């Protein structure tokens, strides 16, 4: 399981590593699995296109 977290561009590497570890620990405490947390620049993640799509119907409609 992996998570991408947006960060501000003016953060230094020491702060970012501490933030990443804190987020990882908090998520692990909640979901009981150690996730992979990747910090990314603000604006690098795609914008939401509205309502979340949780399931896709891949059946052939014949």
- Give the tens place of pLDDT for each residue, 34-56: 999 999 988 887 877 777 667 77
pLDDT at 41: 86
Cβ atoms of residues 42 and 6 within 8 Å: yes
Helix then strand then coil, % of the chain, to nearest 5: 30, 20, 50
pTM of the model: 0.65
Distance CA 45, CA 6 (A): 8
């Amino acid at each position: 399981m992996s998570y991408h977290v947006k960060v501000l561009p003016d953060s230094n590497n020491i702060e970012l590593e501490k933030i990443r570890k804190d987020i990882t620990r908090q998520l692990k405490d909640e979901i009981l699995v150690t996730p992979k947390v990747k910090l990314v620049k603000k604006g690098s993640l795609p914008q939401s296109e509205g309502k979340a799509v949780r399931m896709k119907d891949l059946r052939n409609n014949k």
